[in-house]
Amino acid sequence: MSQPHLRTVVVLAAGEGKRMKSSLPKVLHPLLGRTLLGHVLTAAGPLGADRTVVVVGHGADQVREHLSEVAPGATPVLQERQLGTGHAVRMALDAVPDASGTVVVINGDVPLLRPETVQALVEAHEDAAAAATVLAAEVPDPTGLGRIVRDVQGQLEQIIEERDATPQQRALREINAGIYAFDAARLREALGKLSTDNDQGEEYLTDVFALLRDAGEPVAVHCAADYVETLGCNDRVELAALRRLLRDRVNEGWMRTGVSILDPHTTWIDVTVTVERDAVIDQNTQLQGATTVGAGALVGPDTTLIDTVVGAGASIVRSHALGAEVGPQASVGPYAYLRPESRLGRKAKVGTFVETKKASIGDGSKVPHLSYVGDATIGEYSNIGAATVFVNYDGVRKHHTTIGSHARTGADNMFVAPVRVGDGAYTAAGSVITGDVPPGAMAVARGQQRNVEGWVLRKRAGTDAAEAARRAGEGEPDVGGAASEGD
C-alpha cells in the first residue's frame, strides 16, 4: 500500500521564541507580507505533500487561527510541552499513523528558504534512498547552531548542538539548517529510541542521524547553495536582518523583470505584491499585501500602498493608500490618503491633501485640492472645487452623495448627504448643498454679501486699516461704491 514518494511535511512551530520577547508567537511575526510560518509553508508548497502537519504549542490558538487563514489544508497537532524537536516530530507522526514515504521536517523559523532548495533536498534524499538527509550550510558565524560532524571519509557522523559540543566541534562552520528529509518508517523507529541525555534534557530530532547511522542506515548531508536561505530567526535583531535580506532578494527579482527601483535600500515590497514592466518605484516606498502595480506606473517617493491596485501609467506621489483601486493613467498626490473602496477611473485625479473613502471617481474626474470625499459616486469628467467636503455622516449613519458627469462644483462646497448633483450641473463657491441639483442647473447656497460702507473709518478710527482706507478713498472717493450695488 505504501508508495515511495508519498510525502508528509511537518513544520515545527510549537516553540515560544523566548528571545523575541513578544506576546506574539515567534512563527507569527510578519516578514514582508507573510508570517515566518507562512514563508515556510510557501517554501514547502511545491512539494505537493499529501499532508502537512504543523506542530503547535506556545500560542497554539493564535497559530491555529493563522493556519486556518493561510493553510486551511494543514493539520495542527498540539505539543503541550516543548520537550524538544524530536518530541515535536514524534507528536506529529502520532497524528498521522499511516504516513509513509518521505517525511520533510522544517523548523518554523527559516523564512528565507526557497522552494527550489527544499525540492532539491527531497530529490537528493529520494534518489539516494537515504534514511535521513539533512540540509546543511557553511556559515560565517555558526554561533548557537547545531554542527555537522563528519567522519574521516567525510560521511555524516552526528549533528551536535553547540551547547553539547567539544571546542573542536564548535570550530566547525558547517551547520544544520533545521530542514530534513526522512524515510517515514525509519524515522518513526529512531524517534522511539531518542534519549534526553543532553544539556537541555530534551529529545533532539538531530540525534536521529547518529542513531540511524549506528544502525547501519544510510544518512546524508545536502548542502544549500546559499547559506542565507538557512538563516533562522531567534530575536528581533535577526528578524530585521532577515527582512533586509528578503527585501534585497525581492527588489532584485523585480528589477530583473524590468521594474525600476530607484533606491532599493528604502523600497520594501511584500512577497505577495506584483509589479509590471517599466513601473518606476521611487525611494522610501512600501508596497504591501495584495498590491499590484501596472506597467509604466510611477509610485513614490514616500508612498505606502496596501492592498491597492494601480493601473498602467498611473502616478502616485507621496501618498498612502489602503484597499484602493487607481485606474490607468490616474494621478494621486502629492499627499493624498486613499482609504478602502476608493476607486479612481482612467485619468482621474486625486490631488494634494485629499482624503477619499468608499468613493468612486469616474474617468477623467478630478478632486485636485484639500478635500474629503467619503461615500460618494462622481461621474466622468467632473471637477470638484478646492476644499470640498462630502458630508457623509449625520452622527449616527453614513449617507451617499452622487455627482453626475461633466459637473463643475465650486470651491469650498459642502455636499450634505444624501444629495445628488445632476450631469453638467454647476454649484457656486462656498455653497452648502443640502438639496438635489438638477442636471445643467447652477446651485447657489450661501449667504448674500453685504458691504457696510465707511465702517472702518467710523468704528476703527486711528488704526492702520482706517488710515489705509482713508488713503484709498482720497484718490478715488467712489471706490467700493460699485461693489456694494448688489447689496
Binding status of residue 75 toward ligand UD1 by CB under 6 A: no
Query: Which one of residues 8, 35, 107, 371 is an interface residue with ligand UD1 (CB under 6 A)?
Result: 107
Q: What angle do CA 78, 83, 84 make, to 5 degrees?
A: 100
Q: What angle do CA 165, 171, 177 make, to 5 degrees?
A: 75
- Active-site pick, 369, 399, 400, 406: 369
Binding status of residue 333 toward Mg ion by CB under 5 A: no
Binding status of residue 113 toward ligand UD1 by CB under 6 A: no
DSSP state of 263: -
Residues 6+ apart with CB under 8 A from 256: none
Binding-site sequence positions:
12-15, 26, 79, 84-85, 109, 146, 161, 176, 234, 339, 357, 372, 383, 386, 392-393, 429, 446
Q: How far is CA 307 from CA 286, 299, 338, in A?
A: 11, 14, 11
Binding status of residue 63 toward ligand UD1 by CB under 6 A: no
Binding status of residue 229 toward ligand UD1 by CB under 6 A: no
Binding status of residue 159 toward ligand UD1 by CB under 6 A: yes
Binding status of residue 47 toward ligand UD1 by CB under 6 A: no
Query: Which one of residues 53, 54, 55, 246 is an interface residue with ligand UD1 (CB under 6 A)?
Result: 55
Cα(8)–Cα(12) distance, integer angstroms: 13
Binding-site sequence positions for Mg(2+):
109, 234
Residue type, 377: T
Helix (H) or strand (E) holding 43: helix 36-44
Cα(458)–Cα(1) distance, integer angstroms: 107
Binding status of residue 108 toward ligand UD1 by CB under 6 A: yes
Which of ligand UD1, Mg ion, none binds 287 (CB below 5-8 Å, type-dependent)? none
For the segment 224-263, give every residue that binds Mg ion (CB under 5 A).
232
Nearest to 103 by CA among 24, 211, 184: 184
For the segment 162-191, give every residue that binds ligand UD1 (CB under 6 A).
175-178
Note if the bond before 301 is cis, omega within 30 degrees: yes
Is 369 catalytic? The answer is yes
Binding-site sequence positions for acetyl-CoA:
386, 392-393, 429, 446
Binding status of residue 103 toward ligand UD1 by CB under 6 A: no
Q: What angle do CA 156, 162, 166 make, to 5 degrees?
A: 75
Q: Provide, rounded to whole angstroms, the least separation between the CB of residue 227 and ligand UD1.
A: 12
Query: Which one of residues 8, 79, 365, 383 is an interface residue with ligand UD1 (CB under 6 A)?
Result: 79
Q: Which CB, 54 or 373, lies closer to Mg ion? A: 54
Q: Provide, rounded to whole angstroms, the least separation between the CB of residue 164 and Mg ion.
A: 15
Query: Which one of residues 33, 38, 146, 328 is an interface residue with ligand UD1 (CB under 6 A)?
Result: 146
Residue 351 phi, psi dihedral angles, 5° rounding = -95, -140
| Closest-approach residue to Mg ion (CB) | 232
> Which three cell numbers mark 47?
512539494
Name the E strands within 208-348: 219-223, 260-261, 267-269, 274-275, 280-281, 285-288, 292-293, 298-299, 303-306, 309-310, 315-316, 320-322, 325-326, 331-332, 336-338, 342-344
Q: Which CB, 60 or 231, lies closer to Mg ion? A: 231
Torsion sign (Cα): 80, 86, 89, 93: negative
Which positions lie near Mg ion, rule CB under 5 A? Answer: 232
Active site residues: 369
Which positions lie near ligand UD1, rule CB under 6 A? Answer: 12-15, 55, 57, 79, 82-85, 87-88, 107-109, 145-146, 159, 161, 175-178, 204-206, 232
